Structure 1
Amino acid sequence: MTLPFVRLSALAALSTGAIGLALVGGHARLAAAPPALPADCAADNGGLTLPPGFCATVYADHLGHTRHLTVGADGTVYVNTWDSEDYFPHNPAPAGGFVVALKDRDGDGVADVIERFGSTPRRGGQGGTGIALWHGAVYAEEGGTIVRYALTPGQMAPGEPGELVLSGLVLGGDHPMHPFVIAADGTLLVNSGSATNTCEHPNRQPGAKGADPCIEQQTRGGLWAYRADRLRQVFAPADRWATGIRNTGGLTFDSAGRLFAVQHGRDQLSQNWPALYTGEQGAELPNEILFSPFRGADYGWPTCYYDAGQGRHVLAPEYGGDGGKSQGRCAGKTLPVAAYPAHWAPNDVAIYTGQRFPGAYAQGAFIAFHGSWNRAPAPQDGYLVAFQPLSDGRPSGRWIRFADGFAGEYREPGRATHRPAGLAVGPDGALYIADDVRGTIWRVTYHGAPDAALTEAPRAVVKSALTSGDAFSGAPPVPPPGSSADEVALGQRIYFGEIKGGTCVGCHGSDGRGSAAGGSLVGPAYQWSDGSVAGLAATITAGVAHPKKTSGGMPALGGAPLDAGDVHAVAAYVWTLGHHPG
């Protein structure tokens, strides 16, 4: 007997009941009709994978490069967006202000009213990351400033120009963004991320020593404290509140007033110190962290990094470290709350203060991992939202994958469809997730049992980049004149980080088309050479100190211990990216 095919849609997962099949007269039929999809759910969850009982809608799309967001008591969502020719050279910001206000008036999980305000691209603005609501006003980062916009009850967008709260925030370098948070008492804590990897000179160069003392720490690598109820404050070294924080991706409070933050850990242990670290160690160290900063705390940067396997800070190689064995002056550094895989780039954190999700989520931390660029020789990873259960501010279980599928087909910076960048919990208990590639916001809700246990979302399936053969077809690359197939194969292995500590793929992409951190290598136009093997080799050897169209420079030799033969091999492989077989 052949039974007719029956497709059970994703909506069935939202029902607490089961849909059964009954045999009647030799034929199969549904014992019950599928439950109706809740009004604020999409059948495909907006492309995301989520735990059972959860669903999502695309709340809004194509908003610009959306970063952090916050939600008002009336359900209005406010999101800050950012534009920079260095980071987004081919994807300009939409017209209008960089701050966006959104409202869903009909309850379908999709914003139907959108208004913009704040600085504009036409007036030289560039937007920012940080945003907060406090005492009837929206506070938003704009370049090197924080601006306050007073709101009028019943209106989404402010009717008056913004007022300057803080100016003089330092820009440039590796981490120019300024996430901030406002406490109930009006204390405004703002991040000033590091300009360098580990305060070394030259930055990200093999064997470079760290400055000691690190003068950069006077204005970078920590949190600074100001007042949300004062105007025209000026950023100053004397206002540093906590230190040793390389770059805070996001800050938030729980219901008890405890402050939590996430940090982008340092890079390139194995690439810059191959005698002390294997490639595998470089991919897994140091751990990204969730921490609870307080006035006077010191989390160790740049002299130390956190190794979760040892449960302690260890001395960085730039400051005399021996590959993670010695602790030295790192013994007294402040410990984190929890640790996560290396290089996943946590860009925001939100404590679940709502009532809509199961009780296991109460007062726990959602973390938006933007995704890695430098986990070679391991695959790039992250590009997801994790959940860390907490009880009384401490871990009460292992973190879980909560939402995945953002990256699309490829988990790598230049090819990811979306990258999680911001999180917020609404007054109705919904979770909002922002992406800074396409400017998408998702709204996540729950429709299951209130006592459900924590269950991971399915891991999204992605394609594997071609690490041999032509990057587009897999066919054998055609070597450039004067180079051999063996040289091209060697260059490809270095490019993908399989040997010699190469990090090329992280910035330039597995297809060579580039990302915000590295330019396209496929031609026909080249920024730094004529595209010949000799020209490409010269650029690799010298590096790029001041990039023309991307966010970060390239250290000499790409920050890897390459000899002349290695450089020629990489240049030969890069040449093939712009010259495909056939």
Structure 2
Amino acid sequence: MRSIATIALIAAAATAHADESVRTGAAAYGDWRSDAPGVRRLITPADLPQPYATPTVANPSSLVSRPPGALPKAPPGFTVDLIASGLSEPRVIRTAPNGDLFVAESGAGRVLAFRADGTSPAPAKPRVFAENLPQVFGIAFYPPGPDPRWIYVATPGSVLRFPYRSGDLAASGPPETVVPDLPRGGAHWTRDLAFAPDGQTMFVSVGSATNDADGLKAIAARFMGMDQERDRADVLAFDPDGRRKRTYATGLRNCSGLTVEPASGALWCVVNEHGLGDDLPPDYATRVAEGGFYGWPWFYIGAHEDPSHKGERPDLAGKVRVPDALFQPHSAPLGITFYEGGQFPAEYRGDAFVAFHGSWNRAKRTGYKVVRLLMTDGRPTGVYEDFLVGFVAGDAGVWGRPVDVAVTRDGALLVTDDEGGAIWRVTFHS
């Protein structure tokens, strides 16, 4: 039986086939040279090549200086401004209900607060809201709504919360440890946070410790009952005080970005998959269903069996949920937000923006951009569109790598760039 997500992707593919502006099938794949604002792509499960149709390669990017006058490129009518620079790996960015901006400066181990008064593109000089937070990533306000009383932050091994009142630019007291024992070590250190709309549940994403649960160490750990992947590749759920830990969804190799879709209240994440060649398996964005299993490490994108685990778990083949939107493999999506602002054209409202950090293990570089995920009547179409491009200087070098996206109170889009140490602001002028 086909899943709802698979049926939706098939329907979207049929629509896209009639729309010559959407690249489908082999044409949906490419590299940074084919990126341009407005280019649309649709990748479906039927488009996937065979495992290792091409070799897996290591092709890390090198940082180069941003060329004088160079700016990321957005669609016509949009303006891009640099509003902060010289930061140490800015990653997650969140807008407080009062309009202030909070940024996880992961390289410096601190959370920065920017006062944004809406009168100029650049916010005031940042204040240090909290520090001594090694590899801080996730940020969330609690309770949901206009008057939060806490700011929660996540490090690789814990979730903390700081007392907060609207307008605070520095924590008024020491943090309280809410979750002291998130699994740490291995790969994938990012931990993102989100709260259910009713404020009753806190979600925490935890990526896998290994690439694809292979190798003697992982196998020995499983047989000896010391599984290093316990509570990994999962979205965990807790009460807001950190109690009643439970597993909400599994098989999500590295769900770096969590968010809640405002209209439906559905939990979403963007996931980094591993490598079975240049064009497999796709990264993706998806609604996260309670009890949902998304395949890793045994399967990918439905019942496609990973050759590294051939024959290990045939019983799971029919239980894998197909994600809502597939992205070019190795794009490395890290952040997602839904646009509910009033500044962009009306057709953007309800769509999602996703930040692609960019490939390091693909022969031809891909990613390094922000895309728009198109929705229809609150449901994903599977089609995504290049929105902000231009961070790649050439085949070897890049001057920026997008990480996260957020919408300001006046409807602008903010993009963090950890490689360039920058924050970009995209506005629309009719």
Same fold per TM (> 0.5)? yes
- How many percent identity over aligned positions? 32
Of the three residues 380, 384, 391, the one matched with 1:399 is: 384
Q: Distance in 2 between matches of 1:194 and 1:411?
A: 30
- The equivalent residue for 2:404 is 422
Q: Distance in 2 between matches of 1:45 and 1:165?
A: 45
2:83–2:423 Cα contact (<8 Å) kept: yes
Cα deviation for residue 59 of structure 1 reads: 1.5
Residue 201 of structure 1 aligns with an amino acid whose one-letter code is G
Measured at CA, do residues 329 and 49 of structure 1 come closer, stay the same or move farther in structure 2, by a change above 3 Å?
Answer: same
Residue 111 of structure 1 aligns with an amino acid whose one-letter code is P
Q: Distance in 2 between matches of 1:189 and 1:390?
A: 24
Residues 1:71 and 2:58 are matched in the alignment: no
Residues 1:444 and 2:426 are matched in the alignment: yes
Matches within 5 A, 1:195-234: 195-202=209-216, 215-228=227-240, 230=241, 233=242
Q: Distance in 2 between matches of 1:329 and 1:105?
A: 52
Q: Distance in 2 between matches of 1:119 and 1:142?
A: 12
Cα deviation for residue 425 of structure 1 reads: 1.2
- The equivalent residue for 1:154 is 167
Residues 1:173 and 2:170 are matched in the alignment: no
Give per-residue Cα distances to partners, 1:293-350, cap 9 Å, x unaligned.
Answer: 12100001000012xxxxx43111122169xxx9874232111111010011001111
Show structure 2 runs of 5+ residues with no match. Answer: 1-67, 143-147
Residues 1:58 and 2:82 are matched in the alignment: yes
Aligned-residue CA RMSD in angstroms? 2.7
Q: Distance in 2 between matches of 1:435 and 1:70?
A: 14
Q: Distance in 1 between matches of 2:100 and 2:395?
A: 32
1:210–1:319 Cα contact (<8 Å) kept: no
Q: Distance in 2 between matches of 1:138 and 1:104?
A: 18
- The equivalent residue for 1:90 is none
Matches within 5 A, 1:496-575: none
Matches within 5 A, 1:281-430: 282-306=277-301, 312-320=302-310, 329-376=316-363, 379-396=364-381, 398-407=383-392, 409-410=393-394, 415-430=397-412
Residue 130 of structure 2 aligns with an amino acid whose one-letter code is G
Q: Distance in 2 between matches of 1:167 and 1:190?
A: 13
1:67–1:81 Cα contact (<8 Å) kept: yes
Q: Distance in 1 between matches of 2:297 and 2:80?
A: 40
Query: Greater RCO between the two (CA within 8 Å, min separation 6)?
Result: 2
Q: Secondary structure at the match of 2:186?
A: coil
Measured at CA, do residues 245 and 45 of structure 1 come closer, stay the same or move farther in structure 2, by a change above 3 Å?
Answer: farther
Q: Distance in 1 between matches of 2:211 and 2:378?
A: 30
Cα deviation for residue 401 of structure 1 reads: 0.4
Give per-residue Cα distances to partners, 1:82-107, cap 9 Å, x unaligned.
Answer: 13xxxxxxxxx3xxx61000123362
TM-score normalised over the length of structure 1: 0.57
Measured at CA, do residues 334 and 159 of structure 1 come closer, stay the same or move farther in structure 2, by a change above 3 Å?
Answer: same
Which stretch has the larger CA shift, 291-300 or 98-107? 98-107
Measured at CA, do residues 170 and 210 of structure 1 come closer, stay the same or move farther in structure 2, by a change above 3 Å?
Answer: closer
Residues 1:243 and 2:250 are matched in the alignment: yes
2:98–2:166 Cα contact (<8 Å) kept: no
Of the three residues 204, 207, 212, the one matched with 1:190 is: 204
Residue 404 of structure 2 aligns with an amino acid whose one-letter code is G
Cα deviation for residue 197 of structure 1 reads: 1.3
Q: Distance in 1 between matches of 2:295 and 2:355?
A: 23
Q: Secondary structure at the match of 1:47?
A: coil
Q: Distance in 2 between matches of 1:175 and 1:318?
A: 20
Q: Distance in 2 between matches of 1:128 and 1:72?
A: 18
Residue 316 of structure 1 aligns with an amino acid whose one-letter code is D
Give per-residue Cα distances to partners, 1:130-152, cap 9 Å, x unaligned.
Answer: 11122232211134111112223
Residue 100 of structure 1 aligns with an amino acid whose one-letter code is L
Q: Distance in 2 between matches of 1:380 and 1:297?
A: 32
Cα deviation for residue 202 of structure 1 reads: 4.0
Q: Secondary structure at the match of 2:97?
A: coil
Cα deviation for residue 403 of structure 1 reads: 0.2
Aligned residues: 355
TM-score normalised over the length of structure 2: 0.76
Cα deviation for residue 81 of structure 1 reads: 1.7
- The equivalent residue for 2:124 is 112
Cα deviation for residue 117 of structure 1 reads: 2.6
2:256–2:271 Cα contact (<8 Å) kept: yes
Matches within 5 A, 1:25-36: none
Give per-residue Cα distances to partners, 1:500-524, cap 9 Å, x unaligned.
Answer: xxxxxxxxxxxxxxxxxxxxxxxxx
Mark the structure with the bigger radius of gyration: 1
Q: Distance in 2 between matches of 1:195 and 1:434?
A: 25
Give per-residue Cα distances to partners, 1:240-277, cap 9 Å, x unaligned.
Answer: 1110110102011122212111100122x2xxxxxxxx
Give per-residue Cα distances to partners, 1:382-422, cap 9 Å, x unaligned.
Answer: 00001011124423462110001223x1466xx42211111
Q: Distance in 2 between matches of 1:293 and 1:155?
A: 32
2:221–2:228 Cα contact (<8 Å) kept: no
Q: Secondary structure at the match of 2:278?
A: helix
